[in-house]
Amino acid sequence: MLKIRSPAKLNLVLEVLGERADGYHELRTVMQSIDLCDEISIEEHPLACHLELHTNTMSCPVDEKNLVWQAIHWLREATGFKEGLVITIDKSIPVSAGLGGGSSDAGAVLAALVARYRLNVGHSVLHQTASRIGSDVPFFLVGGTALATGRGEIVAEAPQLAKTSFVLASPSILVETGKVYRGLRLASTPAKTTSSKDACASFLAHIAQPECWEMMVNDLEAPARQLYPSIDEVFEILSALGVKHAMLSGSGGAVFAPVESPEVARQLAVRLSTAGFWSRACESMDRAEFRESVFSG
């Protein structure tokens, strides 16, 4: 049996530059791995090409809608891989919260299977396979701190964030990403261009300094808070608790904030859980820690 951990991500900066002809949006985003992880076990099945998925939550599909299922489908297409598999996903990352749980599961399974079975697939083909599954999936082949562009699938390693404690909180809602993007009303506003102020570059230039937190921005935060008032409640409680620099991750509904220490993060998580929100304390992961989480099994 192969056991791996698939870490969640935060968007420390997320800029939506405009709509694309293919229906996606042009993005610039700084992504960061954190140590909130799903646990995945992979067992062999004697029947070739058999695939069976199990999860610990009803909100996670176990058929072709699951990104892990799609990852294995495209891996078979790319490499001829035929091993029968039974995969169990123990979810800790909430679904549809902007933390990349499904994409992380898919990326981790791709990377782990390629390594375990020594599949003859180059980096570019593996990256293309990941991008066919979802825009976030290529990041989960890299991990740590990274800059993603295009629709999010073009990923480059970035200067590493120093070890940072975060508190996360989310209302019990399923956020519709498409609905949040439509809330931007890009058609009625001038699209950003590559010559616009680059918030990602500003953040990365100051990533080793405390003022980097002042430079975080998420263009999806305003429409998400307007569409889902319970997200606004998370911000209000964090503010009342004296937490600074809170920001939405992705299209939400998870909100995160950097804090002084793991102990402060744990104390805040307890307060937020008592208020009725899902909440966790976590820490950033660098690329080495990210890779160890996927390959430690």
Query: Maximum distance among all alpha carbons in the chain?
Result: 56
Nearest to 135 by CA among 168, 169, 98: 98
Enumerate residues 6+ apart whose C-beta is below 8 A from 176: 96
Point out the residues that are catalytic: 9, 136
Q: What is the C-alpha to C-alpha distance for residues 248 and 98, in angstroms, rounded to an integer?
A: 8
Bridge partners, 44 (sequence order): 85
Beta bridge partners of 26: 18
C-alpha to C-alpha distances, 167 to 113, 114, 198, 219, 290, nearest whole angstrom: 32, 33, 26, 21, 19
